[in-house]
A and B are shown apart, each in its own frame.
Chain A
Amino acid sequence: MTATDSAGMEDRHPMTGNAMDGNAEGGMERHTYDVVVIGAGGAGLRAAIAAHESGARTAIVCKSLLGKAHTVMAEGGIAASMGNVYPDDNWEVHFRDTMRGGKMLNNWRMAQLHAQEAPERVMELEDWGALFDRTEDGLISQRDFGGHKYARLAHVGDRTGLEMIRTLQQRAVALGIDVFMECTITDVFKDPSTGSGQVGGAIAGAFGYWRESGRFIVFDAPSVILATGGIGKSFKVTSNSWEYTGDGHALAMRAGASLINMEFVQFHPTGMVWPPSVKGLLVTESVRGDGGILKNSDGERFMFNYIPEFFRAETADTVEEADAWYEDKKNNRRPPELLPRDEVARAINSEIKAGRGTPHGGVYLDIASRRTPEFIRKRLPSMYHQFKELADVDITSEPMEIGPTCHYVMGGVEVDADTQESAVVGLYAVGECSGGMHGSNRLGGNSLGDLLVFGKRAGEAATAYAASLGAARPQVDDADVKAAQASALAPFEVEGGENPYTIQSDLQQSMNDLVGIIRTRAELEQSLHEIEVFKTRAATMVVEGHRQYNPGWHLALDLRNMLIVSECIAKAALAREESRGGHTRDDFPGPNAEWGTKNLVVNLNAAGTGVDLHEKPLPVMPDELKKYFETPAAPAPTKEA
């Protein structure tokens, strides 16, 4: 097929040292590092850069090729109170917006650190070659987004995530950090004789396989940073890619760490609804930030009917005021289209349910009638391209049809706010797979900032811990390696079972139907029942073929993670009897003050077959931060000087 074949290929991958032959005998690859980072999106890359720069021998292990992680899909920008557009902006305002957006369920310390450190993390990207859009004065431009008081998102058109991942990737390459691409981690190892954390045993290493060859690989490392992203692939309509199977969530649970806030899943208000093959694909919030409005099939701009009490004082209640805001933010309040995502998604859902949806079951997102074609093509080039190529829709001349899509999980590994360390010594989690930062609902633009701020913190903390150990490192037990190997190969041993694609597809439909944007007790109970059935079916799933680049096998292994994470979501959603942020209960509408004081924590049960759940009080915010929330609803942004 290619010229190299006739020339004869090396038995090993030239860059990774990967054995190319899936059936090769001769033991397992083994590597020793100080810090192993699992995942190469924004969080993983930033963590690896920090670890390397702090002096750690660092490896990045990722399921896809370098530069393909889901961060490339982020469109809007990085929220950071740099004050380039509005000098009044500062970390306190950003902190307040973040906490209010999360309906006060956020870990206050994470929200504080994030708001304080995001501006410098953005400047670092520029030092490393990122080319952000500029203001008239030549500074990094900042754009409006839902829930942010000031225009605050550093951006590059509507492809900010691509810019960010490419910048971090190029930085990591320039530093010479080792990258293990297309390599999936299936287990983390602990040494039971070490560790003093809440959970016995400190991290000793990790186990995985090369997707390309199917060969196994062991990492000996005292620090493992999980940066695996989210869980969206458990839902049918999602903006997430195949990689989002909750790997980090599940690895952490199996190691003994806990997850918090798993009931909070963000349904982004604007996903494509047609054609069917792209249903769920993200339409950036920047469309609304740049002037787009939502209309139902009657042509009504319906968001004015859905302004919640919590945000009433800072939201425009007339079309005139909303439209004037884009030009004059001082004297007008924000349009209701720019309420936080949970509010907008619920409103769209209600309009569709009330029979005011579009032919393909969405609502209209219209920027064509409000901005010039030149403006739209300049500010939203990817959206223009995406609709033109995939749906034959010219967004400069007609409205888009959009509807809610599963986008992000606020829940994740419970970590220490300053170091991102979990309850397991040596195990860190950062980015979407960690929990707490965003509370019950994430503001747009706060994800990219989260990746950078806590990626750096985790990389540094993991390095400091590894260095503190000296030569006395936790050891990987050979019996654990054998067990991990047997577990990974189990799907090949079964005969006559089901194909993993079918189980995955049924799980996605079930989660979408029963644990989606609006939830009820009966449906959540039904969902937990169905998950048990999927677990039984998955126990006997079968894969065809051999170990070399076999997506069926890869899915079979990922599916285990999807099932456990789905159970966490359904169980926590059933327990939380209120509606808050990304969790809406039809049978418990509205927030409940008592529920507002506690997190739900989930752990793997003792038998390792399901999840246990308990309540835990929220960390208490110190008085000097409480003052930002004392006025019931702050003066409208606009009335300030």
Chain B
Amino acid sequence: MAYQLKLRIWRGDKSGGEIKDYPVEVSEGEVVLDAIHRVQGTQAGDLAVRWNCKAGKCGSCSAEINGKPRLMCMCRLSDFAEDETITVTPMRSFPVIRDLVTDVSFNYEKAKELPSFSPPPRDADNKRRMAQIDVERGQEFRKCIECFLCQNTCHVVRDHEENKPAFAGPRFFLRYAELDMHPLDTNDRRNLAQEQAGLGMCNITKCCTEVCPEGIKITDNAIIPMKERVADVKFDPLVWLGAKIGLRNKDNDGRTEL
């Protein structure tokens, strides 16, 4: 039933701001984004907030709710007691533009650095064949809705702006792993993942996995296997020796190192 929610929202821009009180009436079944929209419609028409699908599918409405990185559209008010105060602040790892909107261009820049999928020619009948079990590994990672909550929460950059140039973040380790596990890709990006994307800086604390609204096991299924595969080429003494004396490593068949 309807009740008065004690809602607090960070208002401001890059020059600074503050958390303000916006008591607002809410009702059964609503989510934090509904409350934000009601504030926008009735109390603060210029409250800046990103959102699109309101169904947890587009990853636009990322913010920190009582300090926890979440999608506002998937955060139900019934998860909180009615007398509890809910405080909404913008994602902390990205520069604020205004109110709850942050400059997430870091992620779009990192996306440009990643060499794309490179398949061999199609089969003779102009089709491609892959086994379901082989595509499923990549499909888990392609569930990513690019909400950038993993990027926001990752401690490598969360309080270390200086690490950003050398570190692509969990979202892109997911992409490296996806392509590495793609049954048809011909590129070998293991060295790039390590050298350019900063895979080695991740010390697998699993913070990214915890905040992923899609439930992707980023650390266990993408980052750790990717680290193992990098270690294979980089640190395995037998592989090193084999390469030295010119033995052919079958793992590299059909792949070109980038």
Contact = CB atoms under 8 A, between A and B. Distances in A.
Nearest to B46: A545
B126 interface: yes
Given A1-B92, A73-B58, A389-B56, A131 B138 contact: yes
Interface stretch (B27-35, B222-230, B231-239): B27-35
B17 A1 contact: yes
Given A65-B60, A129-B182, A549-B101, A166 B92 contact: no
Contacts of B112: 173, 176
Contacts of B146: 67, 166
A68 B53 CA distance: 8
- Taking residues whose C-beta sits less than 8 angstroms from the other chain, chain A's interface range is 35 or more
B192 interface: no
Contacts of A505: 41
Given A1-B17, A123-B126, A277-B31, A68 B116 contact: no
B97 A241 contact: no
B59 A68 contact: yes
Contacts of B98: 212, 548-549
Contacts of B15: 5
Given A129-B182, A241-B53, A551 B127 contact: no
Interface residues of B, number: 76
B45 A543 contact: yes
Contacts of A618: none
B128 interface: yes
Contacts of A137: 129
Contacts of A7: 161
Contact of A128 (B14, B40, B117): B117
Interface in A544-566: 544-546, 548-553
Interface string B92-108: 11111111010111001
Contacts of A282: 55
B124 interface: no
B21 to A, nearest CB: 18
Nearest to B100: A549
Given A274-B29, A389-B74, A157 B116 contact: no
Nearest to A75: B57
B129 A138 contact: yes
B122 interface: yes
B127 A9 contact: no
Interface in A268-300: 274-278, 281-282
B132 A133 contact: yes
A276 B2 CA distance: 12
A15 B74 contact: no
B139 interface: yes
B69 interface: no
Given A131-B182, A212-B97, A389-B56, A552 B90 contact: no
Nearest to B98: A549
B46 A551 contact: yes
21 contacts: A4-B95, A9-B95, A14-B109, A67-B58, A70-B53, A72-B58, A128-B116, A129-B117, A137-B129, A162-B143, A170-B111, A170-B116, A170-B117, A241-B52, A277-B34, A389-B74, A502-B41, A543-B45, A546-B46, A551-B48, A551-B49
Interface of B: 10, 12-17, 27-31, 34, 40-42, 45-60, 74, 76, 90, 92-99, 101, 103-105, 108-109, 111-112, 115-117, 119, 122, 126-132, 135, 138-139, 142-146, 159-161, 179, 182
Given A15-B105, A551-B45, 14 more contacts: A1-B10, A1-B14, A5-B14, A15-B108, A20-B14, A68-B53, A69-B52, A72-B52, A171-B116, A212-B101, A241-B53, A382-B57, A389-B76, A550-B46
